[in-house]
């Protein structure tokens, strides 16, 4: 049976709650792999039971990865090695990228079997723009580091996606409101499970909602991009032009102000001549 799969590394996405989301291809790879590298063998054993197979498993997690990786890399030259995480897509806030890097460096084949990912599933529930999004994973738990991480992304013109736990949800939502402004957001919880929900509101309203009642289960926060910057007013333009005209000829002053305020250069040039005249 193992001969069916070519040697190499197989990155296998698994369900984030509903076992029905395991793809037929993922089940086929898991049932044929020579060994499955797992975060927690009890969790993956449950998944294997669900598809009625038994395969050898070996732990691969943050605490043993450095020690275990060389052996796995050696094996994938001769056998099919699958990598799973407890839930969702390996490597996404989960171990695995160094295994992929070293497998490639060793010349082994790397194959992905895509599937569930909580971040992507939350984006499909939130009703916020999806054309550009920025995945933050988990924010640092300490207040100062968390505020610094939020400040770093405040100017990014994209929807933000974060993982969080129930007990920390309200504090994180309040920190996001403080650092980003009170943007629209969604809290997606228990996706694909019995109590799946997506609650949408402003960050501050969501923080208030969860402050006294930390929710159970697994959570993704999705935050809207920053609003469009307000267009500069005629008064702003006049003030900037008047200042620039003290240093520059009209055409150059118009060019400088057009760039600075995002306004039309020709209109500014006409206005500069008026102001001078
Ligand atoms: N690799 C996984 C993936 O592809 O989504 C994520 C692993 S990360 C260690 C676990 C976090 O993902 C949880 O703390 C939670 O924030 C989020 N998560 C996982 N399953 C979820 C679910 N069913 N509903 C909401 N969030 C979930």
Same domain for 15 and 58?
Answer: yes
Please report whether residue 215 resides in a domain: yes
Q: Do residues 12 and 29 make contact, with C-beta atoms less than 8 angstroms apart?
A: yes
Which pLDDT score, from 0 to 100, does residue 262 have? Answer: 82
192/226 Cα distance (integer angstroms)? 29
Same domain for 13 and 98?
Answer: yes
Atom of ligand 1 nearest to the CA of 119: 5
Which pLDDT score, from 0 to 100, does residue 229 have? Answer: 66
Last residue of a domain, one of 116, 134, 168: 116
235/252 Cα distance (integer angstroms)? 19
Same domain for 168 and 265?
Answer: no
Same domain for 124 and 109?
Answer: no
Please report whether residue 228 resides in a domain: no
Q: Which of 64, 63, 75, 67 is nearest to 103 (CA)?
A: 75
Confidence (pTM): 0.85
Same domain for 213 and 123?
Answer: yes
Please report whether residue 258 resides in a domain: yes
161 lines ligand 1 (CB under 6 A): no
- CATH code, domain with 215: 3.30.950.10
Last residue of a domain, one of 96, 116, 136: 116
Atom of ligand 1 nearest to the CA of 188: 25
CA distances from 173 to 169, 177, 180, 259 (A): 6, 6, 10, 36
* Distance from the alpha carbon of residue 118 to the mean position of ligand 1, in angstroms: 5
Same domain for 16 and 61?
Answer: yes
Same domain for 84 and 167?
Answer: no
Same domain for 67 and 154?
Answer: no
- The total number of structural domains that make up the chain: 3
- CATH code, domain with 63: 3.40.1010.10
The per-residue pLDDT for range 16-35, each reduced to its tens digit, is 999 999 999 999 999 999 99
Whether the per-residue pLDDT at 2 is higher than 60: the answer is: no
Whether the per-residue pLDDT at 117 is higher than 70: the answer is: yes
Q: What is the largest CA-CA distance in the chain?
A: 88
Please report whether residue 259 resides in a domain: yes
The per-residue pLDDT for range 193-229, each reduced to its tens digit, is 999 999 999 999 999 999 999 999 999 999 999 997 6
Can you list the positions of beta strands (E) in the chain? 8-12, 35-38, 57-59, 80-83, 110-113, 133-138, 159-165, 184-189, 197-202, 218-223
The per-residue pLDDT for range 32-63, each reduced to its tens digit, is 999 999 999 999 999 999 999 999 999 999 99
Last residue of a domain, one of 86, 116, 146: 116
Q: Of all protein residues, whose CA lies closest to atom 2 belonging to ligand 1? A: 88
Same domain for 197 and 255?
Answer: no
Helix axes 265-276, 250-261, angle to 10 degrees: 130
Please report whether residue 77 resides in a domain: yes
Mean pLDDT of 242-266: 91
Look at strands 197-202 and 184-189 and give their pairing: antiparallel
85 lines ligand 1 (CB under 6 A): yes
Same domain for 50 and 136?
Answer: no
The per-residue pLDDT for range 120-150, each reduced to its tens digit, is 999 999 999 999 999 999 999 999 999 999 9
Please report whether residue 36 resides in a domain: yes
Please report whether residue 32 resides in a domain: yes
Same domain for 165 and 178?
Answer: yes
Please report whether residue 41 resides in a domain: yes
Which pLDDT score, from 0 to 100, does residue 1 have? Answer: 45
**Residue 135: Cβ-neighbour burial (10 angstroms; 0-12, 13-18, 19+):** middle
Same domain for 106 and 124?
Answer: no
Residue-range definition of the domain harbouring residue 59: 8-116
* Distance from the alpha carbon of residue 119 to the mean position of ligand 1, in angstroms: 7
């Amino acid at each position: 049976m193992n001969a069916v799969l070519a040697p190499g590394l197989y990155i296998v996405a698994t369900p984030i709650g509903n076992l029905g989301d395991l793809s037929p291809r993922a089940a086929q790879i898991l049932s044929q792999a020579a060994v499955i590298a797992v975060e927690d063998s009890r969790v993956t054993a449950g998944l294997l039971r669900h598809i009625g197979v038994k395969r050898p498993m070996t732990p691969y997690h943050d605490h043993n990865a450095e020690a275990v990786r060389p052996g796995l890399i050696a094996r994938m030259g001769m056998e099919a090695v699958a990598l799973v995480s407890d839930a969702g897509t390996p490597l996404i806030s989960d171990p695995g990228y160094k295994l992929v890097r070293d497998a490639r460096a060793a010349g082994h084949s790397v194959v992905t079997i895509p599937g569930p990912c909580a971040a992507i599933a939350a984006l499909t529930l939130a009703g916020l723009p999806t054309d550009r999004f920025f995945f933050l994973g988990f924010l640092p738990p300490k207040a100062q580091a968390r505020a610094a991480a939020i400040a770093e992304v405040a100017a990014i013109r994209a929807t933000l996606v974060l993982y969080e736990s129930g007990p920390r949800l309200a504090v994180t939502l309040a920190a996001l409101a403080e650092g980003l402004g009170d943007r629209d957001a969604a809290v997606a919880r228990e996706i694909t499970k019995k109590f799946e929900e997506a609650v949408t509101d402003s960050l501050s309203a969501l923080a208030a909602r969860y402050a006294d009642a930390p929710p159970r289960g697994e959570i993704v926060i999705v935050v809207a991009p920053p609003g469009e910057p307000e267009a500069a007013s005629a008064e702003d333009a006049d003030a900037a032009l008047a200042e620039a005209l003290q240093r520059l000829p009209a055409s150059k002053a118009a060019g400088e102000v057009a760039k600075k305020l995002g306004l039309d250069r020709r209109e500014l040039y006409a206005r500069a001549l008026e102001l001078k005249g």
